[in-house]
Amino acid sequence: MTRNYFLNHDPKRPPDSGDPCWIFLTPTQAVDAVAMDFQAYGPQPELLRRIAPLVLGPQCRTALSEENRNGVTVWRGASFEPVQDHSLGFYLIHVMETAPPDLNTLAHICRRVFQTTTFAGKLTADDEPGIWVHSQMDGFVCRQCGQCCRQLDYETGCDESDIRLWQDRGRTDILAWVQYLDTPGESVDRAYRIWVDPDTGKTARTCPWLGSCPDHSNRFVCTIHAIKPEVCRQYPYTAKHAAMTGCSGRFAAQTEPPVHTNP
Ligand code: SF4
C-alpha cells in the first residue's frame, strides 16, 4: 500500500468494531493497491515468487533466480525461465485485472503483499464484498528519530488542503517554502513542491521545520506539528510502509477482525 493510495483513499470503518485501523477495499481498489505497492518499493522478488502461484494457479512453480538477485524463475512447460521481478509484477497485475481471483484468494494475496491481517468481507451486511486490510497503526509510537523528515521524498506530497490551512492561519512563512507547479492540460488541481528555499530556489534536503528536542540530543521535533502537511500527518501509512522506508517506530501488532466477514 503506498503513500499516494492512502492519501487519496477515504478509509471505510467497520461499523461495529470501532477500530479505525481497518480499511475496506473493493476488489478493484485492492488490485490497484497491490500494483502501487509493486511500484513503490522496487524489487521484491521473494514476494512475487510467493504470490505468483496464487495469481497464476497452483500449477505455477517459481524460484528465485540464482544469477540475478532481482530475478525470479517461473516454470513454463518444460523448464524454468528467468523473469525480471518487475516484469513478473506487471504480468501478475495484468492477470488480476483481466481474470480477477476469487475474494479469498485476493485477501490471501493482499495479506502477503501488505504483510498484515486481511479478510474477504463486506463493509456492511448489505454491501458488495471486498477486502478488509489492517494497517497495524494502532499503538504506533514514533521514536522521534527524524529519519522520515531527513531522508524521505515528500516533495510532491503537499496538496490544496495544506495550502488552504496555511492560508487560513496566515502562515506566510510556511507558504514561502512552497513552489507552485504548472499543471499541463485543463486540470483544476494545482501541484506544489515543498520545501523550496525561498532564497536559493533549491529544494531543501532536510525539512526546514525539523527542530532538535530540547531534552534529548538524539531526538527531533516538528516545529509545525499541529499544521504539518497531510503527507507527514499520515506517515507511516502501514507497518510495511514503515519497514520499507526505514521508520524505527514501535508497533503493537494485535488485530481483531471486522464484523462482516464472508462465511
Ligand atoms: S522515521 Fe518513524 S520513528 Fe522516526 S521520526 Fe519518522 S515516524 Fe517517527
pLDDT in tens, 87-100: 888 889 999 999 99
Q: What is the pTM of this model?
A: 0.74
Least confident of 5-9, 66-70, 240-244: 5-9
Cα(1) to centroid(ligand 1), Å? 18
Most confident of 75-79, 143-147, 233-237: 143-147
Cα(141) to centroid(ligand 1), Å? 9
Cα(35) to centroid(ligand 1), Å? 25
Per-residue pLDDT at 191: 87
Per-residue pLDDT at 76: 61
Cα(165) to centroid(ligand 1), Å? 24
Per-residue pLDDT at 127: 78
Ligand 1 atom having least distance to the Cα of 248 = 3
Which residues have any ligand 1 atom within 6 Å of their CB? 142-148, 235, 247-249
Burial classification of residue 136, based on how many CB atoms lie within 10 Å of its CB (0-12 exposed, 13-18 middle, 19 or more buried) = buried
Q: C-alpha 181: how far from its chain's center?
A: 24
d(CA 53, CA 157): 35
Ligand 1 atom having least distance to the Cα of 144 = 5
Q: Which one has a higher pLDDT value, 215 or 129?
A: 129
**Local structure of residue 200 (DSSP, 8 states):** T
| β-bridge pairing 62-64 and 22-25 | unpaired
Ligand 1 atom having least distance to the Cα of 249 = 3
Cα(225) to centroid(ligand 1), Å? 13
Q: List, as own/partner pairs, every contact residues 47-50 make where C-beta atoms lie below 8 angstroms and the sequence separation is at least 24, other chains included.
A: 47/112, 47/113, 48/72, 48/85, 48/88, 48/89, 48/92, 50/112
Q: Which one has a higher pLDDT value, 45 or 78?
A: 45
Q: Which three cell numbers stand for residue 258?
A: 471486522
Q: How many CB atoms lie within 10 A of CB 197?
A: 13
Q: Whose CA is nearest to atom 4 of ligand 1?
A: 145
Contact residues for 46 (Cβ-Cβ < 8 A; gap 6+): 64
d(CA 9, CA 30): 11
Q: Whose CA is nearest to atom 6 of ligand 1?
A: 148
pLDDT above 90 coverage of the chain, percent: 40
Closest CA to 131 of 26, 37, 54, 34: 26
pLDDT tens figures, 52-95: 899 988 878 787 776 666 567 776 666 667 777 778 888 899 99
Query: Pocket of ligand 1, candidates 148, 213, 220: which has the most ligand atoms within 8 Å of its Cβ, to mutate?
Result: 148
pLDDT tens figures, 97-119: 999 999 999 999 999 999 988 99
Cα(148) to centroid(ligand 1), Å? 6
Per-residue pLDDT at 118: 92
When the pLDDT of each residue in the chain is averaged and rounded to a whole number, the result is: 82
Whether residue 9 has pLDDT greater than 50: no
Q: Whose CA is nearest to atom 8 of ligand 1?
A: 142
d(CA 86, CA 39): 8
Whether residue 15 has pLDDT greater than 50: no
Ligand 1 atom having least distance to the Cα of 246 = 1
Q: Which one has a higher pLDDT value, 149 or 2?
A: 149
Whether residue 8 has pLDDT greater than 60: no
Ligand 1 atom having least distance to the Cα of 147 = 1
Cα(212) to centroid(ligand 1), Å? 14
Whether residue 125 has pLDDT greater than 60: yes
Cα(224) to centroid(ligand 1), Å? 15
Domain ranges of the chain: 3-134, 153-234
